[in-house]
Each structure stands twice: as structure tokens, then as C-alpha cells.
A and B are shown apart, each in its own frame.
Chain A
Amino acid sequence: MGKIEWAMWANEQALAAGLIYATGGIVGVAGQFRGWQFAAFGIAAGVFVCLLEYPRSKRGKGTSVERTGQYCFTVCVKAFGPLTRNYYVRAFLHAALCVPGGFMLATVLGCVCLGIASLIYLSAAIHGEHWEPILPRTEPPKRVGNSIKEPPQNPPPRPPPELRRKKADKLEPAAYDNPMSVTINE
């Protein structure tokens, strides 16, 4: 099916699941439904999942598109090192978080969506993918070439263009051929 990076889809699914989990939780708590404690857990878990999933991973191949303002989240998520890098850990975490949602109607949808996201992450982990932070590239300092040590070959004052131009047979020497010598000793 082409070289799909499952983690990209798992990420979208998990983010959506987090939102749905949290919304279901809010409805459960606001409406004071039976089992609202599960709904409260749902809000916490949903928000946590959203924060974890918001920063997109760097793609293995191709350009990565950041989500708006994801840099601070990237830094936080990166700080947990292997826990967030490894997708097996994420798959297991999502599976664990989704279970309490199944006990109450308002959070059931969030539970199932998060479960699906967990499965897709498992697939990503099996395919050897891992989370890479998208960090701004630091430019290497511009290195100055050796030619800076040589004086310019054709400094002004220069003769007018008619004398400077050479015929097109020998281009390379023609470009750098000076009508008068410019080195120091001659």
C-alpha cells in the first residue's frame, strides 16, 4: 500500500480521539450523569492525550509539516526521552487510558477511537517507526573559502568593455584574462 508511515495516521486518530474523549467527559460531568467519575477521568485522559499527540513527529521520508505553535509541546514531549519516542509505549498507554471510558456511555466513543489509535500505533511500532521531534534547523556557520586570501584578479580601474570582452572560443580563460597584470611583483 505504498510506503505509509502509520504513525502519521495514528497521530491524527489519537488527537481526534483525545478531543472526543474530553468532550464526552465534559458532557458527562456537566450533565451529572451516573458514573460521572469516569467522565471526569475522561476529561483528564483526553486532555493528556491531546497534549501528547499535538506535536507531530518528523517524517522518515519527505517534508514534515508542523502544527501551528507546536514547538513548545515538542520540547515537553522530547523531555521524556524513550517513553515518548517509542511507539510501543504509546500504544500501550493509549490502550490503558481508553479502558475506563468504556464504563460510561458518554465516554464510550472516545474509548473506542483511542483504542483504534492504539492499534494503529502498534502497527507503526511493529514497522519500526519512532517519534522524532521537529526542531528548527540551525544553519552551520558560513565558512569562508580559500580564495579570500588571494587578491582580486581584475580590480578597478578597468579598461572599457570593448577591450575587456574576448571572443567565445575559449570561454574559461577569457573570463579571467586581465588586460593588465595585477599581481604585486610584476
Chain B
Amino acid sequence: MGNFAANEGLSIFVILVWLGINVFLFVYFYLAFLIERYYYTRVILGHALSWARAPAACLNFNCMLILLPVCRNLLSFLRGSIQYCSRTAARQLDRNLTFHKLVAYMIAFHTAIHIIAHLFNFERFMDSQLMINSSYLPYVLSQMGNNDNRSYLNPIRTNETNPTIVMFTTIAGLTGVVITLALILIITSSMEVIRRSYFEVFWFTHHLFILFFIGLVLHGVGRIVRGQTLESVKVHNPDECHSQFETWGKNGTNCPEPVFAGNPPMTWKWVVGPMILYVCERLVRFYRSQQKVVITKVVMHPSKTLELQMKKKGFKMEVGQYVFIQCPSISQLEWHPFTLTSAPEEDHLSVHIRIVGDWTQALYTACGGDKTVVMDAWTLPKVAVDGPFGTASEDVFRYEVVMLVGAGIGVTPFASVLKSVWYKHVQENKNVFTKKIYFYWLCPETQAFEWFADLLQSLERQMMEKDISDFLSYNIYLTRWKDAEAAHFRVQYEAEDDPITGLKQKTLYGKPNWDNEFSAIATQHPGSKVGVFLCGPMALATALGKQCISHTESGTEFIFNKENF
């Protein structure tokens, strides 16, 4: 339970505060339109007025929030500064995309309420123009302001129209249609199916948000929400005068004709700040991307993996972070994220890229993947690097005993961690707190990550030379295999090196028995705190979380860190 509170407590708190503010704004602005000033507006519209204004306020709030979680550089900067005060708060900033999506859903929800309320509003405004009867208050109210066309109440000024036409001829209506369409297109192209398989559609459609924000700011410019002016309320009290509407302004009454005016637009006050921040963010990204990046080494690994080693002046990273890479000669607009596989102690930064799609294939060709001759450095393509971003797994070094569990491609950030631990422990001979690492790698096929097996091989060799083979204990689990391969494994059972990876420690088949593993580690290291780090699927996360809780007994404590690398 303590683990849960430590991991999730701050997130839940943030969400509750956010929901609380939404509820507060909704109720506050709902009540704000039940006052005297809007008495006559409500005569025509009823409560639909408040039902439209309340979600509008929530929309202002959420549209302000939605730009903030995607200001990557701002978040990195905040993360770096907050880290010294509270690591939990710093880690909260890594969940920015989840928050962005939550706010987006809230925007969609409030948009729906807002539109439905306005459908009623339009209908009622139209009704009150069509019921031509001077004993009918809504009709009388709709005729106010016919002379100067400024002090009117009903934005529908004539009875020879219909709500659809009105919508397309008012600023509020037209901008409303534009922003709603932009929102719907953004949402449908952001569905997981589209996002995962056709990223470009998602990315380009998402830029409709520019149209969205322009429309949003202009939405209130027409001042279509109208109420009595303050001066008018002083001389014409709606409570007293509403029943005498047939004699307003005539000689001998206390009630002059009411004067109406529209509310000034408020949205810009909410969103101008974040819009400026976002513009700055894009400028920073552009500036950083212009910094010179030199590819120093290109390594073609088997199974379609390309390793790029690059140098960028002033680049600082922490273990487990990722960068965005752009190659202008392939595509001016595409930036793709890759986990860094180099350690902070190294003088270069490296990424391992699997060739799976168009962009990676083009990068492979551009870096001379098809050629067998050595390429000159100046023929390599120019690349731009933005980052580093994301979770820093510095926490790994705070534990004496560490369990690293990587599933499939989740093993990539651990390359950085292992290399860094290696540098810290051996070459700089610092007094490293971490004394033992248990590394578990679950994958359906090892071929895709042969480069990682190479890394483990070289670490193994170096450890044997320094006589500290006990430091790292790795367990590779092959979870899927073909029958033909199985025959080969059986035959090679007696060989000294593992037939698949060439490592001294044998590949194991199937899934690990976590119960046994945890018990073994608990017995080996009584009385210590063991940090468990996972990069893999949710099911594994739940399983490991449970194991941590059940094996945390007197003495050994397992602390689960579920990081999204």
C-alpha cells in the first residue's frame, strides 16, 4: 500500500485538484448567469443559457491547460529544477502525455454540453422572433434595439431566417463550426489504431490545433451573449418591471426600456499565456535542431538494426532518456523518438534504430546500409537531434541491489543503464552504492537485439578480466521458439557458451518463475532494499508489483519502480 501511495499518490492528487477546479468553474459560472442582469435573457432562453456558459468556462480552463503538457523543453527544464527538491514531483512531469489526453477528453465532453445547450438557445431565440404577438414578452424583448441595432437582446434580428443560416452568418457560429470540426478531426485521427500505424496522419492532422486556437480566440468577438447593461439595471429593475412590459418607456411608468449589451470576449485572457509558451517551445526546438550534430560512426548490426553514434556540442544526458531525431534529407517535418543507448560517461551519444518503416529504411540507405565500401564522413546525411527528454533512471544507483527487467524492445534503455554502471564501477573506481545487479531480459526472439547480446558479451569479458564476475547476473528468457530451433538447443545443451547469445550464462526458455527469483534474491540479500525496475507491458508490471509486495518481508524490501521509458 505504501508503495502504491508513493508511486501513484501525487498523480491522483493532481487529477483530483484538476477535476475539482473543473467542477468549481462549472458551478460558479452556472450561478453567475442566474443574476438579475440576465433576467431577460433567461426569459427567452431559460436555464439553457447557464448550461452553455458553464461548460464554456471549463473549456477556457482546459484549453489553457492542454498546451502545457506538450511543451517538452519547458517540462525538461522544470524537471531539472524540481529534481533537487522532490524526485516524486519530477517523475510526475513524465506523465505529461496522459494528462494531455485527459484534458482533451474533458474538452470533448464540455464541447458536447456547450453545443447541445446552444442548440436549445438558437431554437428559443428563433421561436421568440417567430411568435409575433405583442403580449408575448420574448417577442417584445426580441424587438428591442431594432432602431440602433446595438442595444438588442436577441442576436437573431429577423424572422425571415432559420437557425442554420444564423449559425453560418455570425462570428460565434462560424468559428464554432470551425473549431468543432477541427476538434473532431483531431480526435478521430488520434485514436490508438491510427496513431500507432499511421503516425503521419495523426501528426499532421493534429496541427489543426492552430486553427482551433485561432477560432477559439475569435469565438467571443461577436459579443453574442447579451444581458442588461449595469446602468440599465439601476433604472430598470427586472424583478419589478418584467410584468409591465407593455408599458415600458411610456409616460408615467417607473420602467424605462431596458438596454442590452454583449459580454466582451474572455477566452483570450485564459489562453494567451500558454499560446506564447508554446510558440517559445517551438522556437526552442527549432533552435536546438539547428545545432550541429556530427555522425561519428555507423554500425550495421544484424537483423536490421542500425547504430548511429553522434556528437553534439554541449549535449548532456542521464541514463534511460530519449531524443528526437530528424533527417532533413529524408523528411523536413518528421521527428522520431529513439531511446539513447549510450551512457552519460561516454563522449558520444548513440541510438540503436530498428528498420521497420519508411523513414528508418530511408535512413538506413542514406547511411550507406546497402553499400559495402567504407563511406566518407562528409557523405553521411545531416541529422538534427532534439532532447534529451524523459525519465532519468538515476534511481537505479540509489539501491544496493537492483533488479532490472526488460521485455522485448524494453531492453533498450537498460543498455544505457548497464554501460553507465559499468563505467562508474570499474573505470572511474568510484565508490558505487550499487553492489549487485540482476538483469532479466524476456524476448520472443533474440535476433532483433543481437547488438544487446554483444554488449552483454563485452561486459562479461571485461568483468572476467577485472575479476568481478559476480557483479552482474543476467538471465535471458526466450519466450518463443520454433521446433527446428528447439532441436538445435537440445543438442547444444552441453556446450560451454550459449548457442543463441554466445554468453557464459545460458539462455533460459519460457517465462521466469518470479516467485523463485524473488525468494532467491531475498535470501541472498537479507536486510537490504532491492530496487525493481521494469520496462515492459502492463501485465508484467502488475505481476511484478504483486511479487514485490508479497516478498517484502522482515529485512528485505522490494521497491517497485514502474517507469515508462
Please tell me which stretch of B114-122, B147-155, B508-516, B525-533 contacts chain A, meaning at least 4 of its Cβ atoms lie within 8 angstroms of it: B114-122
Question: For residue A168, which residue of chain B has the nearest CB?
Answer: B494
Across the interface, A103 reaches (CB within 8 A) one of B164, B187, B191, B197, namely: B164
Please tell me which stretch of A43-51, A107-115, A128-136 contacts chain B, meaning at least 4 of its Cβ atoms lie within 8 angstroms of it: A107-115
Taking CB atoms, residues of chain A closer than 8 Å to B358 are: 2-3
Across the interface, B197 reaches (CB within 8 A) one of A8, A109, A112, A168, namely: A8
Evaluate contact between A108 and B123: CB separation under 8 angstroms: no
Bits for A82-125, please: 1 = Cβ < 8 Å to B, else 0.
00000000000000000000111110110011001000000000
Tell me the complex Cα distance, A17–B187, Å: 12
Evaluate contact between A8 and B193: CB separation under 8 angstroms: yes
Tell me the complex Cα distance, A157–B233, Å: 108
Tell me the complex Cα distance, A112–B405, Å: 49
Please tell me which stretch of B178-186, B294-302, B445-453, B557-565 contacts chain A, meaning at least 4 of its Cβ atoms lie within 8 angstroms of it: B178-186
Taking CB atoms, residues of chain B closer than 8 Å to A165 are: 494
Across the interface, B180 reaches (CB within 8 A) one of A2, A23, A65, A109, namely: A109
Question: Shortest distance in angstroms between B206's beta carbon and chain A's nearest beta carbon?
Answer: 13
Bits for A8-23, please: 1 = Cβ < 8 Å to B, else 0.
1100110011001001
Please tell me which stretch of A27-35, A72-80, A146-154, A178-186 contacts chain B, meaning at least 4 of its Cβ atoms lie within 8 angstroms of it: A27-35
Given the known interface contacts A34-B126, A105-B119, the answer about A4 and B200 at a Cβ–Cβ threshold of 8 Å is: yes
Evaluate contact between A31 and B201: CB separation under 8 angstroms: no
Question: For residue B167, which residue of chain A has the nearest CB?
Answer: A105
Taking CB atoms, residues of chain A closer than 8 Å to B198 are: 2, 4-5, 8-9
Q: Does B35 make an interface contact (CB < 8 A)?
A: no
Question: For residue A28, which residue of chain B has the nearest CB?
Answer: B119
Evaluate contact between B164 and A105: CB separation under 8 angstroms: yes
Chain B residues 530 to 563 lying within 8 A of chain A, measured CB to CB, are none
Q: Does A126 make an interface contact (CB < 8 A)?
A: no
Taking CB atoms, residues of chain B closer than 8 Å to A65 are: 193
Tell me the complex Cα distance, A5–B196, Å: 13
Evaluate contact between B164 and A104: CB separation under 8 angstroms: yes
Q: Does A171 make an interface contact (CB < 8 A)?
A: yes
Q: Does A1 make an interface contact (CB < 8 A)?
A: yes
Across the interface, B177 reaches (CB within 8 A) one of A13, A27, A112, A168, namely: A112
Tell me the complex Cα distance, A1–B199, Å: 9
Q: Does A62 make an interface contact (CB < 8 A)?
A: yes
Given the known interface contacts A12-B189, A31-B119, A102-B164, the answer about A2 and B194 at a Cβ–Cβ threshold of 8 Å is: no
Evaluate contact between A1 and B163: CB separation under 8 angstroms: no
Q: Does B6 make an interface contact (CB < 8 A)?
A: no
Evaluate contact between A105 and B177: CB separation under 8 angstroms: no
Evaluate contact between B188 and A31: CB separation under 8 angstroms: no
Q: Does B2 make an interface contact (CB < 8 A)?
A: no
Across the interface, B123 reaches (CB within 8 A) one of A1, A12, A31, A112, namely: A31
Evaluate contact between A12 and B181: CB separation under 8 angstroms: no
Chain B residues 111 to 136 lying within 8 A of chain A, measured CB to CB, are 112, 115-116, 119-120, 122-123, 126
Evaluate contact between B200 and A1: CB separation under 8 angstroms: yes
Evaluate contact between A116 and B194: CB separation under 8 angstroms: no
Evaluate contact between A109 and B123: CB separation under 8 angstroms: no
Evaluate contact between B123 and A33: CB separation under 8 angstroms: yes
Evaluate contact between A108 and B167: CB separation under 8 angstroms: yes
Question: For residue B168, which residue of chain A has the nearest CB?
Answer: A108
Evaluate contact between B116 and A27: CB separation under 8 angstroms: yes
Q: Does B491 make an interface contact (CB < 8 A)?
A: yes
Chain B residues 100 to 118 lying within 8 A of chain A, measured CB to CB, are 112, 115-116
Taking CB atoms, residues of chain A closer than 8 Å to B188 are: 9, 12-13, 16
Tell me the complex Cα distance, A46–B279, Å: 39
Evaluate contact between A27 and B164: CB separation under 8 angstroms: no
Evaluate contact between B167 and A1: CB separation under 8 angstroms: no
Evaluate contact between A113 and B184: CB separation under 8 angstroms: yes
Q: Does B433 make an interface contact (CB < 8 A)?
A: no
Evaluate contact between B185 and A12: CB separation under 8 angstroms: no
Evaluate contact between A4 and B201: CB separation under 8 angstroms: yes
Taking CB atoms, residues of chain A closer than 8 Å to B119 are: 24, 27-28, 31, 33, 105-106
Evaluate contact between A2 and B357: CB separation under 8 angstroms: yes
Taking CB atoms, residues of chain B closer than 8 Å to A104 are: 164
Taking CB atoms, residues of chain A closer than 8 Å to B122 are: 105
Question: For residue A16, which residue of chain B has the nearest CB?
Answer: B188
Chain A residues 154 to 180 lying within 8 A of chain B, measured CB to CB, are 165, 168, 171, 175
Evaluate contact between B177 and A9: CB separation under 8 angstroms: no
Taking CB atoms, residues of chain A closer than 8 Å to B481 are: none
Q: Does B495 make an interface contact (CB < 8 A)?
A: yes
Tell me the complex Cα distance, A33–B122, Å: 10
Q: Does B204 make an interface contact (CB < 8 A)?
A: yes
Evaluate contact between A20 and B184: CB separation under 8 angstroms: yes
Evaluate contact between A175 and B491: CB separation under 8 angstroms: yes
Taking CB atoms, residues of chain A closer than 8 Å to B185 are: 13, 116
Question: For residue B192, which residue of chain A has the nearest CB?
Answer: A65
Evaluate contact between B491 and A171: CB separation under 8 angstroms: yes
Question: Shortest distance in angstroms between B388's beta carbon and chain A's nearest beta carbon?
Answer: 26
Chosen A-B contacts, 12 in total, with CB atoms closer than 8 Å, are A1-B201, A2-B200, A5-B198, A8-B193, A9-B189, A23-B112, A27-B120, A105-B119, A108-B177, A112-B177, A113-B184, A165-B494
Besides A3-B358, A105-B164, A116-B185, 13 more A-B contacts (Cβ < 8 Å) are: A1-B201, A2-B199, A8-B197, A12-B188, A23-B112, A27-B119, A28-B119, A33-B123, A105-B123, A108-B177, A109-B177, A109-B180, A109-B181
Closest 5 CB pairs of A and B: A105-B163, A12-B188, A4-B198, A13-B188, A1-B200
